[in-house]
Structure 1
Amino acid sequence: MEYLYGLLFGTEPKQSDADASHTLRTKLEALPGDRDAQITLTAAEIRILKEATTTTRQKHGGGDELFVRMHSNLTEDLDPSTADAVVDAYGASPLKPNPLAKRRPSPETPQLRKACKNAVADLISERQLASSVPKERRKTLEAALSEVNAWGFDVWSVVDAFQGDTLLASRAIVDAVVFEARGFRAASASPILRQVVSKMLASYQDVPYHNCLHGADVLQAMHALLNLAPTFDDALDDDVVLVTLLACLSHDVGHPGLTNNFLVETGHELAIRYNDASPLENMHAAVALNLAKPYLRTRPSTDQKQNRALWIGLLLATDMKEHSQQIFELERALSKAKERGTSYEACTPEHHVPCLKIFIHACDISNPAKPWPVYRRWTALVMEEFWRQAELERERGLPLTVPARDATDLAQFQKGFIAFIRPLFAAADRIGGVDMSLPLERLDDTARRWQSGSPRAEAYDPPVATEPPPVSFQTLTEPVALGDDDVRE
């Protein structure tokens, strides 16, 4: 019997959510390793289960009575205060010894059991993340994540709360966006989805800039941009939103910290594999979709094909060599709409994918469009990555294609980059239903700061510059190994 059958309803209906969050971490300690463990859930904790089961109950029927009947072998011992807690959380009738306990489970029980199992898996994941943060930093983390819906979100405050652990910080950001703000916690494949997310984050290499935190940051930026375009956001199917967020998360998975040009010039195995055509982006797409197979298989076959096509298209749209072409095509579409006396609307179904491609590319290059303290830390890291490549190019006698450590006018370089990317944001701002005013305002503010005083990026003490580890395509595309519990019904 699944350990979920061991859950007992608690006796603290008035416990605050903050207290519930703290006590729940302790209660769940035994669950991952002890399938027969029994814990007492308070009303606040039951509400979290309700959140996870609501969608499933609506889809499969059965209602609250069925959820209670799942645990009928435990409910006979509930006292009145516990019954009141259930009433508070579920609006169900006070519980009494249930004569239905001996009956054969209703057909809906497996779906509800699965939804509850998903909820417990979410709680365990949250407990594991929370326990990684020192007590004195938890309020800081909560305050930081409370801004996850905003364009000005400070990713570095989350990293600082986790004492520099970018992998844990990335998990927290993804959880806050995908499973909390976007509500995919209630998805029937939630445990598998969490496995896929974890594998994607772990498949990033340890390079200064193109690491898992960058993937999580682009995911959050996409979430924030969609929030700034609510009519477009509402027009998108949930499946499309989730695939888009996962594409953002995985868009640089396995990145070696080197550019496409370097891979081509040095005859790297990725350049050979993809015939010198966007080797990084093609590799990212192949690795991401391989990692995502366990989740994609939970979708209908027609959805799988559409999701793959969308995912691939979004990742290929992040190739910087397509930047000017993207702007050209968008400007042409805007002009044609104007000639017809209409506007180019993001909400028009055939415009969804083109707009999402613009969005993911904008998010990928959006650091200068973020608040200055956030941007300058990213700047230090991307410059370190460039400098390392420049050293490798010099060692091999190649022309320098990126700035060198000893010959970088940082202010001039950043001003040039801002001037290069601003037209994309300006053109996107003219799409009906899209609002790029805040990113544009930030871009202009960043440019003015460099223009006025050429300020240095925040100090960054990098490790000794060594050649990045080689990329092994075979290693990166290794299938995700999931246990039986993760893939069965």
Structure 2
Amino acid sequence: MSKSCFQVISLLRDAAGRVEGETAQLVKDAVKVLSSHELYAPSITRFRDNDRIATQYYDGLIRLHHPTRQRKKSVVDALRDKRGSHGERRRVSADVKNALENDTEWNFDILQLEKITENHALSQLGVKIFERWKVADFLSCNEDILYRWLCTVEAHYHAGNAYHNATHAADVLQATSYFLDSPSVAAHVTENHAIAALLAATVHDLDHPGRGNAFLINTRQSLAVLYNDHSVLENHHVALAFQLTLQQNSNVNIFGNLSREEFTSMRHAMVEMVLATDISRHFEYLVKFNKMNVVDVQEEAREGNSLTICNMLVKCADISNPTREWSLCQKWAHRIVEEYFEQTREEREKGLPVTMEVFDRKTCNVPLTQCGFIDMFVREAYATFSEFANLSPLSTQLEANCEQWKALSSSWTPANNLSLHM
């Protein structure tokens, strides 16, 4: 927090002691906001009384409860040096090869790949993307080690989750690679941050239990206790990723040939990017991205900008479903809603506070929940990022999908909720 902000807080506290009643309470509320992370979300702390969906998204997903720089070569320069030969690719069936054919396109059908590979989309797509970005070369590791690492990571996602599974990780990885391919992005991202973003996308929901942070906190689960109720799952995802990678006698240690400084830099970047996916800190990262200056900056500022861009990039990849073509957008929405339905059911069964009551299978209007999510989180983030990355068609698709959801909302009945994710 800046010195000027502390001065404002001090002045407000003094003023609070000299006024009474409602005015005093308003001053105290202002001090509370200035002293917390909610400073980054001033536009969402108040909703219309009837905006039930927005309020519950806020309460359920945001509120919850009250290194040495290395390898500064830009992505553009690095890929100019490296791209050309793809080397020997691991043998895959013709069906899988065909399903992977369009992986550089935004509307790549990851769900078709999931079906063809029998839930191994992450390892199959990961091999191709990592090969294209020369990840093994950058890490100075054997390609077999990198493949085993991918398979190990994939095995620690929960295939039984409707949404937070390895296919979601593959989807986020594909989006991350797509964003990094944008010349407008690549011009400002260093090579080490680009590689870190690909790895972070791969592990960003590792071992996700299919329940949100609020649920873990309310049930006093060990992870919530371990991480003091702060970014519980995000901390766990990235911590487990490094535990699996660095375990003794590991045959999946993709960082084994990095110097201490290189490893420290890579670890710092990956941790930052995974923690940035915590939706409760969404507006904090959006503000930081909006404040970034990429014009005529010094080397140190360029390094900081690179990380800020990648934080935003992975965040946008994580919430990219509403910007995909309608069929994919709809299928992903049904998956996440199914997971929320199950969480609500369990919360009611256990007598817990219900995180988001709107996600009750018996009453939920799914299209309205999707419009609410777009309004609260996706639209502004994509308007900002797509302008920077010169990817305006994504925002155009987002608005088209939102109109589709609005059209469906008037005829939606709870009966539709019985067979969403089949």
8 A contact 1:200–1:253 mirrored in 2 = yes
Counterpart position of 1:220: 174
Distance change >3 Å, CA 161–CA 415, structure 1 → 2? same
Distance change >3 Å, CA 176–CA 312, structure 1 → 2? same
8 A contact 1:381–1:460 mirrored in 2 = no
* Deviation (angstroms), 1:185: 5.7
Pairing 1:413–2:372 present = no
Pairing 1:292–2:245 present = yes
C-alpha distance in 1, partners of 2:344/2:210? 11
Pairing 1:175–2:175 present = no
* Deviation (angstroms), 1:226: 1.5
C-alpha distance in 2, partners of 1:313/1:399? 30
**Residue deviations 1:1-47, cap 9 Å, x none?**
xxxxxxxxxxxxxxxxxxxxxxxxxxxxxxxxxxxxxxxxxxxxxxx
Counterpart position of 2:335: 381
Counterpart position of 2:269: 310
8 A contact 2:122–2:166 mirrored in 1 = yes
C-alpha distance in 1, partners of 2:288/2:187? 25
Pairing 1:395–2:349 present = yes
8 A contact 2:238–2:274 mirrored in 1 = yes
* Deviation (angstroms), 1:161: 2.5
C-alpha distance in 2, partners of 1:235/1:327? 17
- What RMSD, in angstroms, separates the aligned Cα atoms of the two structures? 3.1
Counterpart position of 2:111: 156
8 A contact 1:247–1:311 mirrored in 2 = yes
Distance change >3 Å, CA 279–CA 452, structure 1 → 2? same
TM-score (structure 2 length as normaliser): 0.70
* 1:271-290 superposed matches below 5 A: 271-290=224-243
Amino acid at match of 1:279: V
Pairing 1:194–2:147 present = yes
8 A contact 1:152–1:370 mirrored in 2 = yes
Moved more, 448-457 or 267-276: 448-457
C-alpha distance in 2, partners of 1:286/1:184? 21
C-alpha distance in 1, partners of 2:113/2:162? 17
8 A contact 2:322–2:374 mirrored in 1 = yes
Q: The residue matched to 1:156 in structure 2 has which SS?
A: helix
* Deviation (angstroms), 1:460: 5.0
Distance change >3 Å, CA 428–CA 462, structure 1 → 2? closer
* 1:419-430 superposed matches below 5 A: 419-420=375-376, 421-430=378-387
C-alpha distance in 1, partners of 2:166/2:326? 21
* Deviation (angstroms), 1:231: 4.3
C-alpha distance in 2, partners of 1:155/1:203? 19
8 A contact 2:162–2:338 mirrored in 1 = yes
Counterpart position of 2:202: 249
Counterpart position of 2:313: 359
Moved more, 287-296 or 242-251: 287-296
Identity %: 26
* 1:89-238 superposed matches below 5 A: 123=89, 126-127=90-91, 129-130=92-93, 138-139=94-95, 141-162=96-117, 165-166=118-119, 168-179=120-131, 181-184=132-135, 188-189=140-141, 190-206=143-159, 207-227=161-181, 229-233=182-186, 235-238=188-191
C-alpha distance in 1, partners of 2:228/2:155? 27
Amino acid at match of 1:428: F
**Residue deviations 1:55-74, cap 9 Å, x none?**
9xx99xxxxxxxxxxxxxxx
8 A contact 2:162–2:335 mirrored in 1 = yes
**Residue deviations 1:327-354, cap 9 Å, x none?**
22333x15xx59xx989xxx93330000
* Deviation (angstroms), 1:281: 0.6
C-alpha distance in 2, partners of 1:195/1:364? 24
Counterpart position of 1:111: none
**Matched length:** 324
Counterpart position of 1:446: 401
